């Protein structure tokens, strides 16, 4: 799972083992891998046949591709036999949306199944300059705020820009298979697969990134730095960054960065297959005992004690309870020095609605999540999972090309007028039109079978 190894991981493992001994008799090893290396390391683990039991994956980490290639164990039978409590704690939309070729290869986290995009800004500077969230009608309106910060706070960069403009793109387009090689328009909410690289809205986002970068509003080495946007905020280097949003994301990020943040939402909640497959726990095909792993997952979705040990550590040592569901750090402990932490990624683990809330969070957060889900516009393609097998070579070629340009374009570092046409030309040469045609073909067949055509 993604994250950094902290000193008390062994102590938490030991506590979990003691708790589970009389329940399912397993030992648990928590293997945190830095986000920056996570995809490469786990891809290598999978392709080399390394033995492990359970891993975090997602649509954008190639879940469907890996499942189609047989990298994960199919779990329908395991779920029926050893996961009786999971279905009671997981909405059917999750299980349907996570199927690949009709089979289930992973369990989505029970959390928000809709998404919006938001800018997170430092509250102290927002108050200082009288910025009002209601003044923001589109992402272009952030320019005025960035200009003020640039002119008055010389030691602070207005906008991190690291992976941020993808949030703007994702507010407008629905990915299929976790990539941009054929997408759906959220505004149209239809089943027509389009090429975003030739869409004016896509170009407009990249042009805004270029303008911001040239104005000095984006971290200068945003395209190459290994420092995350959270770390830039934690170190007092930036005024804002963008995230996929949900109720209370500002409080979550305030906790992990140690900076009081305010979220400025940019759009309304929207639910896609990608949203319900944004956090999946998959059993490796190399697991020696998949049945025992499913027993563990069954508890992870239903047993509040187990979930919170993984989320927050050991009570009294890493957190103290203020009430049944509210916790805080013990005296002298902060997010900066706590010896065990899932670094704000508690959404990865099973049933988030069983996770404790920190004292700075809204005690009605989980009720807000449910209301957020209920208010979402549902994509007409919800439940469609693309099988990439027929165009796997083209996807790999396009991905290699895309990775050469994407960070430079999305951070505004590269000249849009020169490099976007160059990228588009190479993507077409690598077979992007074939990928789009295959996505459309499969989507049309799925819609016909669902009676949505």
* Averaged pLDDT for residues 177-195: 94
- Domain spanning 9-112+275-378, CATH architecture: 3-Layer(aba) Sandwich (3.40)
pLDDT the model gives residue 410: 95
Contacts of 134 (CB under 8 A, 6+ apart): none
pLDDT for 98 beyond 90: no
SS3 (DSSP) at 189: coil
CB atoms within 10 A of CB 315: 16
How do the domains of the chain map onto residue ranges?
A: 9-112+275-378
pLDDT for 453 beyond 70: no
Give whole-number Cα distances, 221 to 157, 310, 375, 382, 413, in Å. Answer: 12, 35, 38, 37, 8
pLDDT for 259 beyond 90: yes
pLDDT for 93 beyond 90: no
Q: What is the DSSP letter of 414?
A: S
CA dihedral 221, 224, 227, 228 (to 10 degrees): 100
pLDDT the model gives residue 215: 97
Phi, psi of 313 (to 5 degrees): 100, -140
Q: For a pLDDT cut of 90, what percent of the chain falls above it? A: 70
Phi, psi of 421 (to 5 degrees): -60, -35
């Amino acid at each position: 799972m993604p994250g950094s190894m902290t000193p008390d991981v062994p102590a938490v493992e030991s506590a979990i083992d003691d708790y589970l001994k009389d329940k399912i008799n397993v030992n648990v090893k928590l293997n945190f891998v830095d986000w920056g290396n996570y995809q490469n390391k786990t891809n290598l683990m999978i392709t080399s046949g390394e033995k492990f039991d359970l891993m975090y994956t997602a649509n954008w980490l190639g879940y469907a591709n890996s499942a189609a290639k047989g990298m994960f164990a199919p779990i329908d039978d395991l779920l029926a036999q050893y996961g009786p409590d999971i279905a009671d704690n997981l909405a059917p939309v999750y299980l349907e949306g996570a199927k690949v070729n009709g089979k289930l290869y992973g369990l989505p986290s029970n959390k928000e199944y809709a998404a919006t995009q938001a800018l997170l800004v430092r509250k102290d500077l927002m108050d200082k300059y009288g910025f009002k969230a209601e003044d923001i009608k589109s992402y272009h309106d952030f320019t005025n705020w960035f200009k003020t910060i640039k002119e008055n706070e010389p030691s602070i960069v207005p906008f991190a820009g690291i992976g941020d403009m993808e949030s703007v793109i994702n507010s407008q387009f629905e990915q299929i298979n976790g990539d941009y090689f054929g997408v759906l328009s959220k505004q149209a909410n239809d089943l027509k697969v389009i090429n975003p690289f030739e869409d004016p809205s896509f170009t407009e986002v990249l042009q805004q990134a270029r303008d911001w970068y040239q104005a000095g509003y984006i971290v200068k080495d945003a395209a190459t730095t290994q420092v995350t946007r959270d770390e830039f905020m934690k170190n007092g280097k930036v005024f804002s960054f963008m995230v996929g949003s949900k109720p209370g994301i500002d409080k979550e990020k305030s906790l992990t960065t140690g900076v009081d943040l305010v979220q400025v939402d940019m759009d309304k909640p929207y639910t896609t297959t990608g949203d319900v497959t944004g956090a999946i726990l998959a059993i490796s095909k190399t697991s020696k005992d998949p049945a025992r792993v499913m027993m563990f997952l069954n508890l992870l979705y239903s047993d509040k004690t187990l979930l919170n040990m993984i989320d927050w550590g050991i009570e009294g040592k890493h957190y103290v309870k203020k009430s049944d569901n509210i916790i805080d750090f013990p005296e002298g402990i902060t997010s900066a020095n706590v010896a065990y932490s899932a670094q704000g990624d508690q959404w990865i683990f099973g049933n988030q609605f069983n996770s404790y809330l920190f004292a700075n969070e809204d005690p009605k957060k989980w009720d807000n999540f449910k209301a957020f889900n209920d208010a979402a516009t549902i994509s007409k393609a919800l439940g469609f999972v693309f099988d990439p097998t027929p165009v796997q070579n083209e996807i790999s070629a396009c991905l290699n090309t895309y990775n050469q340009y994407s960070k430079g374009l999305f951070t505004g570092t590269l000249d849009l007028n020169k490099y976007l046409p160059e990228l588009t030309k190479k993507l077409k040469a690598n077979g992007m039109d074939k990928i789009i045609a295959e996505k459309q073909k499969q989507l049309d067949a799925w819609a016909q079978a669902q009676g949505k055509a």
